[in-house]
């Protein structure tokens, strides 16, 4: 059994989704979460803040961010491994000695939600059938990343076509914040469309943004690194110069909207299988 502790034991959100990441190992008893004083075999550290490197305990850095937007606070050479959504750019680990550093990739969209994706796909039919009484929503909490300006431009353009409900910290015009967790998916389910651009564009960097719209029965308006993994008709490409025309056509053609709304977003559903194999090979064995 591998005993794992956290560098920050009070970061409940980080502990929540990394628990989802390790769900199968925890369920099988191969991994156990312990306190920092309970002789851990390994420490998980978040990219969000600086942390200590305890003596004789290897540290693994875990990130759900784009490296260019949230770079590591410590040299990657200090870590036993790095777990991330997309590989670090070469300049961040070019000085790491061969064999010292292992990168393990995982799909963040598979661990963001409180339920496994299989259960959320089972619930999708119910949310697809929910009355789509509202046009479009926009829920954004920050303005970081090289797509942040484009995301706001898309919001303003779509809002000029037909009013958009903004229920996040950015451009809020509803007077309230959208709920979180599974309640968020039910809230999205009342909308026909959702503006779901990533905060930044990098190869392999895909988050939950477009998937949460699709799982809720809304058509995502999307730009970012996930476009190459998605069914083209399952989203509106916000990077295309004529995306507003596509939106208008879809908005005014109920049959075509229903066809595209029901398409699965991914050509191949995200899975933790590759991550779990790599994690077992690098850190358990």
Is 112 domain-assigned?
no
Q: Same domain, yes or no, for 103 and 142?
A: no
CA distances from 163 to 28, 69, 159, 197, 254 (A): 49, 31, 5, 18, 19
User: For the domain that residue 146 is a member of, what is the CATH number?
Assistant: 3.40.50.11660
> How far is residue 173's CA from residue 231's CA, in Å, rounded to a whole number?
31
- Other Cβ atoms less than 10 A from the Cβ of 206: the count is 24
Q: Same domain, yes or no, for 32 and 97?
A: yes
Backbone angles phi, psi at 21, to 5 degrees: -65, -35
Where is 60: in which H helix or E strand? strand 59-62
Q: Same domain, yes or no, for 140 and 207?
A: yes
Q: Please tell me the predicted confidence (pLDDT) of residue 26.
A: 96
Contacts of 243 (CB under 8 A, 6+ apart): 154, 221, 236, 237
Q: Please tell me the predicted confidence (pLDDT) of residue 141.
A: 92
Q: What is the number of domains present in the chain?
A: 2
* pTM (2 d.p.): 0.92
Domain, as residue range, for 54: 2-107+271-284
Q: Please tell me the predicted confidence (pLDDT) of residue 96.
A: 74
> How far is residue 227's CA from residue 11's CA, in Å, rounded to a whole number?
31
Angle at 233 between CA 125 and CA 205, to 5 degrees: 90
How confident is the model over 149-184, as pLDDT tens digits?
A: 999 999 999 999 999 999 999 999 999 999 999 999
- Contact call for residues 84 and 68 (beta carbons, < 8 A): no
Q: Same domain, yes or no, for 234 and 121?
A: yes
Q: Same domain, yes or no, for 10 and 96?
A: yes
Q: Please tell me the predicted confidence (pLDDT) of residue 99.
A: 67
Q: Same domain, yes or no, for 247 and 126?
A: yes
Structure tokens at 26: 């925890």
The total number of residues shown for the chain amounts to 285
Q: Same domain, yes or no, for 227 and 280?
A: no
R_g of the chain computed on alpha carbons: 20
Contacts of 149 (CB under 8 A, 6+ apart): 143
Q: Same domain, yes or no, for 102 and 127?
A: no
What three-state secondary structure class fits 100?
Answer: coil
Is 75 domain-assigned?
yes
Weakly modelled stretches of the chain, pLDDT under 50: none
């Amino acid at each position: 059994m591998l005993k794992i502790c956290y560098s920050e034991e009070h970061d409940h959100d980080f502990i929540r989704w990394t628990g989802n990441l390790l769900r199968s190992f925890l369920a099988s008893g191969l991994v156990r979460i312990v306190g920092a004083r309970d002789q851990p075999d390994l420490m998980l550290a978040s990219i969000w803040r600086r942390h200590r490197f305890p003596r004789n305990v290897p540290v693994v850095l875990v990130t759900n961010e784009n490296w260019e937007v949230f770079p590591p606070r410590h040299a990657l050479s200090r870590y036993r491994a790095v777990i991330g959504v997309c590989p670090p750019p070469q300049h961040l680990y070019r000085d790491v000695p061969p064999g010292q550093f292992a990168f393990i990739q995982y799909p963040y969209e598979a661990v963001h939600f409180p339920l496994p994706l299989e259960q959320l796909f089972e619930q999708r039919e119910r949310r697809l059938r929910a009355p789509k009484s509202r046009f479009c929503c926009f829920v954004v909490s920050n303005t970081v990343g090289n797509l942040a300006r484009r995301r706001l431009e898309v919001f303003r353009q779509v809002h000029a076509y037909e009013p958009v409900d903004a229920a996040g910290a950015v451009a809020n015009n509803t007077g309230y914040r959208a709920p979180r967790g599974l309640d968020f998916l039910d809230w999205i389910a009342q909308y026909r469309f959702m503006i779901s651009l990533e905060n930044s564009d990098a190869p392999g960097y895909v988050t939950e943004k477009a998937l949460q719209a699709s799982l809720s029965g809304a058509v995502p308006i999307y730009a970012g690194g996930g476009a190459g993994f998605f069914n083209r008709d399952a989203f509106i490409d916000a990077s295309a110069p004529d995306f507003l025309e596509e939106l208008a056509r879809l908005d005014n053609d109920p049959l075509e909207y229903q066809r595209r709304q029901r398409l699965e977003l991914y050509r191949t559903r995200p899975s933790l299988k590759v991550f779990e194999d790599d994690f077992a090979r690098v850190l358990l064995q």
